[in-house]
Amino acid sequence: MSDLVADLLAGKHSALARVITKIENRSPGYREVISDLHQHTGTADVIGVTGSPGAGKSTLVDKVAATYRERGLTVGVIAIDPSSPFSGGAVLGDRIRMASNAGDMDMFFRSMSARGSLGGLSTATTDAVTALDAFGKDKIIVETVGAGQNEVDIVRTADTVAVLVPPGSGDDVQMLKAGILEIGDVFVVNKADLDGADRTVQQLREMLQGQSGRPNSGHHGATELAGDHGDASTDDADAVDDEPETWDPPIVETVANRGDGVEDFLNALATHGEYLDRTGRREGQARERFAAEIRTLLREDANELLVDELDRRGGIEQYVDAVIERHTDPYTVVDEVLSPLRECLDDPGDGS
């Protein structure tokens, strides 16, 4: 075990920060670090917070983190901001909103930039959560702008996903339909003191009910089918029923900058946590997550091997030339490059 890992496990803040830096940079040795940390994880409760820019994510996260800290829990936050596609630089401003936790070292806040390669970011986020979990954080919050598939992937790191919707965003609510709606376990209409908040709550409620019969229950592509009682409100959710218990996402109203509704929000998160434990969904989600992680890593590593192999064969350009000249075709090229690998794997007598 490296000194860095030992320092992190001993609770040294700078070591935790350095591990996350290694993860972000994919510095040599970061894989060993994550491997060493893995066995120390599994105790943290991971919450994902997403929503359109300006919805109030950072402000709400600040208040939530402060409330957890008052309850004596330790908190880690990862806030992900976009980076400039031109310079690769970024201004990470979420920290400005962290006023309620100023100077509190047991509230670990880390800004991460998308660094242009969103695909890899979900891996980096997963690894950063691993680091915070191993460090011993009770609650880990992952905060990101909800704008598409990549963010959805990031948010899947979480046990419970909260989706923030600002009021008066009729079109935004429409947009939510396209993906974010399915992954939300708890919906938050923030800035609920503004005009149009009631209407937004109403729209959200209609949309969520309109989804009854969706193969929902938890989130993250749950396997069991929702029953016919999709209209059942949360109140009679514990009615005696042989159907697998489903989750109806609650809608919470908050005014994050005043701290209004934060308790309600935390209660909703806790209720979802209990639901996950009661139904065994938490374990199921963890299994799905690890399966997805293994698949992603396999794909990335195999891809790297193939890039090296292509280089050894003189680069991709010569193949492209041959394809353009109609001497060969892409499928034949792939077969040719992959054939040694295929032989290796098909030969049972070798290296098994």
Partner 1 sequence: MSVEQEQTERTIRCLVAKVGLDGHDRGAHVIARALRDAGFEVIYSGLHRAPDEVVQAAVQEDVDVVGISILSGAHNTLVPKILDGLKEYDAFDDRLILVGGIVPDDDQEELRGQGVDEIFGPGASMEEMIDYIHENAPER
Return the bridge partners of 187, or none: 163, 251
| CB of 89 or CB of 348, closer to partner 1 | 89
Which helix (H) or strand (E) segment holds residue 346: the answer is: helix 330-346
Nearer to partner 1, 20 or 173 (CB): 20
Comparison of 4 and 333: residue with beta carbon closer to partner 1? 4
What distance in Å separates the CA atoms of residue 244 and residue 224, rounded to the nearest whole number? Answer: 7
Name which of 135 and 275 has its Cβ closer to partner 1.
135
In the complex, minimum distance from the CB of residue 15 to partner 1, in angstroms, rounded to a whole number: 8
Q: State the nearest-atom distance from the C-beta of 242 to partner 1, in Å.
A: 49
- What is the token pair recorded at 95? 């920290």
Our CB check for partner 1 shows the closer of 39 and 87 to be 87
| Partner residues linked to 76 by β-bridges | 108, 140
Question: Residue 304 Cβ, how far from partner 1 at the closest point, in Å?
Answer: 13
Q: Which residues bind partner 1 (CB under 8 A)?
A: 12-14, 17-18, 20-21, 24-25, 27-28, 83-84, 87-93, 95-96, 99, 102-105, 108-111, 113, 115
Q: Terminus-to-terminus CA distance in the chain, angstroms?
A: 29
Q: Are 163 and 66 in contact (CB under 8 A)?
A: no
The phi, psi pair for 260, rounded to 5°, reads: -70, 135
Using an 8 Å Cβ cutoff, are 167 and 196 in contact?
Answer: yes
Question: Token pair for residue 140?
Answer: 């880990």
Nearest to 163 by CA among 313, 216, 334, 173: 173
> Does the CA dihedral 225-229-230-233 come out positive or negative?
negative
| 74 vs 216, beta carbon nearer partner 1 | 74
Closest distance between partner 1 and the C-beta of residue 238, in Å?
A: 42
CB of 21 to partner 1, least distance (A): 4
